[in-house]
Amino acid sequence: MSDIIQLLPDSVANQIAAGEVVQRPASAVKELLENAVDAGSTHIQLIIRDAGKSLIQVIDDGIGMSVTDARMSFERHATSKIRSADDLFTLHTMGFRGEALASMAAIAHVELKTKRQEDEVGTSVIIEGAEFVSQDNCVCSKGTSIAIRNLFYNVPARRNFLKSNPVETRHIVDEFTRVALAHPEIAFSFHHNEMQVFDLRFGNLRQRIAAVFGNNYNERLVPVEEETTIVSLSGFVCKPEFAKKNRGEQYFFVNNRFIKDGYLHHAVSAAFENMITKDSYPSYFINLQINPAHIDVNIHPTKTEIKFVDEKSVYAIMRAAVKRALGKFSVTPTLDFDQERSFEIPLEQLDKFPKLPTIKVNPNYNPFKPETVEQASNPTRWNPIIQPVRTEQWHQLHKNLMNIELPIADSKESNTFPVIDELDETCFTQMQLRMIVVTHEHGLLLIDQQMAHEQILYEQNLHNLIHKPAATQQQLFPQNLEFTPHEAMLLKELLTDLRQLGFDINEFGANAFVLHGAPAEVIAGDEKKILQLLMDQYKQNRDVMQLESRNNLALSYARSLAMRKATFLSQREMKHLVTELMNCENPLLNFNGKNILVQIGSDELMNRFNKK
């Protein structure tokens, strides 16, 4: 038998390497952007079409390439960035493996145009599926343009594996954001399907963060600065009250390259200890400048993980620097309990001896004008919701519930559930502006008012999403609403379902939308705020709880509309709210199984008196 081992042809080797370097359009975007940064550009344009599936183009004004380099750049292990293994320890560039262009050329149609300052004419090179097609002179300005068309056209398995356009676009936006935040000194623009998504002028990091995430970030940022012999830190953390329930705004850059690092993340979180709730994440944008000899960047093929030689010291420095920054700007510890939306009625508190309430006299009180008392002691007003549309089946359930015998929380005896409609308004009392106490013949009902409101809205939203679109109140004058690029991206994903919920909204340019009408529950003027709250919630639920899209939207919208904590309710409003709750398919438990309502039967109450 003859020998059977052969060297793989380059085209095959490149396709295999491509699997490692280019997993999805976003990876190609990252490589091209990093090359443009390495080329010393001051303006970088990113243009994509169909979430990068049909086109990814990066145009820069960097140093460009000579005729020979233009051709060479597509060879495997062709790089201008290292010459010897020693160079690996002094790296100051993004790339160095010389694999990116070769890999992309193996799995796409690639067109390169490039010109150096000193050259009269530029060079264009076309390569398709690792096959060299042509090389010509061309007229172009200084810099480089690389267009990647039909990514994975010859790797159907990969192509079919790609996610929907919104998902792939989100990955691209993430990569773009990382590079843009790492290099505020470079101007970036980003167009998707001919629409401008980002237009970022050069500036400092603070300006860049505001340009990417919105101007309101300006007041959230606390500077972090620290210079030591081991590492220099600079950047910002967001004040504790802006910590989010979802990951996403955690940015470390080592020598201006985005990295992920769980250990360093822990260091920052430790600095925030006791200032934010355990389940929230601080936002940060911190650049570490460190001698390249003290890190090993080679640990991960796509280079988002690195290893510090002296990681314990870096950890300690990071933690101390963030702590000091928070202290210096007298950021006081504020545990934001109002953000804790899944409030439960603390049953164990019922056993404890209650604190005597202090009596506050309201001088405006006039028993004959109920409005005066409400307004005088009225922190926030509840916006009564409109009656949801009910199905047949749902009316049946309601009927059953109104007369049902429900088991009592921690008693073996059962009790008759009151018919809310028949109760006098005086049976409704508010406790601590958060709980409704209903007294009735057979005992007490304790209802978390916010959870109740949320449940009512949640079920109504689900109904609107699945069965029947909500009514829209048309506006006399259409409103233009501007969002940050990140928000706009998500809004586009949710547009169809939002219409179902009663928002008559359409795209109107890059990050702008036009609103012709909104659901009746949304107070005029609050439309943008509600949409923003909704999207924040949506992202949080998607990332933390992995909720399915419609369920998530129904819940997020309910949360953004539901009354805030500490909302004063009149007796009429309480009765209305409890009636609405009883009309729900599930008035007892919220979507993740927490009690909305607790019953205490009169027998159980009487037993308490007889206890020794």
Q: Which is nearer to ligand ADP, 98 or 235 (CB)?
A: 98
173 close to 24: Cβ distance less than 8 angstroms: no
Of residues 31-90, those binding Mg ion (CB under 5 A): 35
Q: Is 18 exposed, middle or buried (0-12, 13-18, 19+ CB in 10 A)?
A: buried
Picked from Mg ion, ligand ADP, none, the partner binding residue 501 (CB below 5 to 8 A depending on kind) is: none
Q: Phi/psi at 48 (nearest 5 deg)? A: -130, 155
Closest approach of ligand ADP to the CB of residue 71, in Å: 10
> What dihedral do alpha carbons 550, 554, 556, 558 form, nearest 10°?
180
Question: How far is 29 from 239, CA to CA, in rounded Å?
Answer: 32
Mention every residue, 6+ apart, whose C-beta is less than 8 A from residue 320. Answer: 226, 271
Here's the x/- map for ligand ADP, 12-31, by CB under 6 A: it reads as: -------------------x
Picked from Mg ion, ligand ADP, none, the partner binding residue 101 (CB below 5 to 8 A depending on kind) is: ligand ADP
Q: Is 63 in the site for ligand ADP (CB under 6 A)?
A: yes
Q: Which is nearer to ligand ADP, 62 or 502 (CB)?
A: 62
Q: Find the angle CA(567)-CA(571)-CA(573) to the nearest 5 degrees.
A: 60
DSSP 543: I
Beta bridge partners of 111: 126, 147
Closest approach of ligand ADP to the CB of residue 129, in Å: 17
CB atoms within 10 A of CB 88: 15
Give the HSE-up count for residue 559: Cα atoms under 13 Å, Cβ half-sphere. 24
Interface stretch with ligand ADP, choices 63-71, 122-130, 265-273, 488-496 (CB under 6 A): 63-71
Interface stretch with Mg ion, choices 92-100, 165-173, 239-247, 313-321 (CB under 5 A): 92-100
Picked from ligand ADP, Mg ion, none, the partner binding residue 80 (CB below 5 to 8 A depending on kind) is: ligand ADP
129 close to 106: Cβ distance less than 8 angstroms: yes
- DSSP code per residue over 79-141: -SS-SSGGGGGG--SS--SS-HHHHHHHSSEEEEEEE-TT-SSEEEEEEETTEEEEEEEE---
Give the 3-state DSSP-derived string for 217-281, with helices as H, strands as E and coil as C: HHHHEEEEEEECCCCEEEEEEECHHHCECCCCCEEEEECCEEECCHHHHHHHHHHCCCCCCCCCE
Q: Is 95 in the site for Mg ion (CB under 5 A)?
A: yes
Interface stretch with Mg ion, choices 18-26, 91-99, 152-160, 364-372 (CB under 5 A): 91-99
Closest approach of ligand ADP to the CB of residue 32, in Å: 7
Q: Which residue is nearest to ligand ADP (CB)?
A: 95
Of residues 83-102, those binding ligand ADP (CB under 6 A): 95-102
Interface stretch with Mg ion, choices 12-20, 98-106, 162-170, 310-318 (CB under 5 A): 98-106
CB atoms within 10 A of CB 486: 22
Q: Which is nearer to ligand ADP, 98 or 184 (CB)?
A: 98
Closest approach of Mg ion to the CB of residue 90, in Å: 17
Picked from ligand ADP, Mg ion, none, the partner binding residue 27 (CB below 5 to 8 A depending on kind) is: none
Picked from Mg ion, ligand ADP, none, the partner binding residue 97 (CB below 5 to 8 A depending on kind) is: ligand ADP
DSSP 575: H
Picked from Mg ion, ligand ADP, none, the partner binding residue 514 (CB below 5 to 8 A depending on kind) is: none
> What dihedral do alpha carbons 172, 176, 178, 181 form, nearest 10°?
-160
Nearest to 558 by CA among 449, 448, 450, 458: 458
> What dihedral do alpha carbons 556, 214, 379, 501 form, nearest 10°?
-30
Q: Name the one residue in this structure whose structure tokens are 């205490």.
A: 600
* Residue in 18, 39, 110, 596 binding ligand ADP, rule: CB under 6 A: 39
The two structure tokens encoding residue 210: 């505001």
* Residue in 15, 57, 79, 599 binding ligand ADP, rule: CB under 6 A: 79
Interface stretch with Mg ion, choices 93-101, 303-311, 494-502, 602-610 (CB under 5 A): 93-101
Q: Residue count at the site for ligand ADP (CB under 6 A)? A: 23
Interface stretch with ligand ADP, choices 55-63, 160-168, 375-383, 463-471 (CB under 6 A): 55-63
Q: Which is nearer to ligand ADP, 22 or 451 (CB)?
A: 22
Question: How far is 339 from 564, CA to CA, in rounded Å?
Answer: 10
| 67: three-class secondary structure by DSSP | helix
Q: Which is nearer to ligand ADP, 96 or 315 (CB)?
A: 96
Question: How far is 112 from 172, CA to CA, in rounded Å?
Answer: 21
The two structure tokens encoding residue 469: 């679109």
* Residue in 36, 286, 295, 577 binding ligand ADP, rule: CB under 6 A: 36
Picked from ligand ADP, Mg ion, none, the partner binding residue 81 (CB below 5 to 8 A depending on kind) is: ligand ADP
Question: How far is 449 from 434, CA to CA, in rounded Å?
Answer: 6
* Residue in 14, 15, 27, 35 binding ligand ADP, rule: CB under 6 A: 35
Picked from ligand ADP, Mg ion, none, the partner binding residue 110 (CB below 5 to 8 A depending on kind) is: none
What is the rounded end-to-end Cα distance, in angstroms, of the chain?
96
Closest approach of ligand ADP to the CB of residue 123, in Å: 12
Closest approach of Mg ion to the CB of residue 95, in Å: 3
* Residue in 33, 51, 65, 110 binding ligand ADP, rule: CB under 6 A: 65
Q: Which is nearer to ligand ADP, 147 or 457 (CB)?
A: 147
The two structure tokens encoding residue 16: 């295999």
Q: Which is nearer to ligand ADP, 87 or 374 (CB)?
A: 87
Picked from ligand ADP, Mg ion, none, the partner binding residue 531 (CB below 5 to 8 A depending on kind) is: none
Q: Is 100 in the site for Mg ion (CB under 5 A)?
A: yes
Q: Is the dihedral of CA 445, 522, 531, 463 positive or negative?
A: positive
Interface stretch with Mg ion, choices 17-25, 56-64, 100-108, 542-550 (CB under 5 A): 100-108
Interface stretch with ligand ADP, choices 33-41, 177-185, 188-196, 439-447 (CB under 6 A): 33-41
Question: How far is 388 from 530, CA to CA, in rounded Å?
Answer: 19
Of residues 109-168, those binding ligand ADP (CB under 6 A): 144
* Residue in 30, 57, 59, 60 binding ligand ADP, rule: CB under 6 A: 60
Q: Which is nearer to Mg ion, 100 or 488 (CB)?
A: 100
Which residues make up the interface to ligand ADP (CB under 6 A)? Answer: 31, 35-36, 39, 60, 62-65, 73, 78-81, 95-102, 144
Which residues make up the interface to Mg ion (CB under 5 A)? Answer: 35, 95, 100
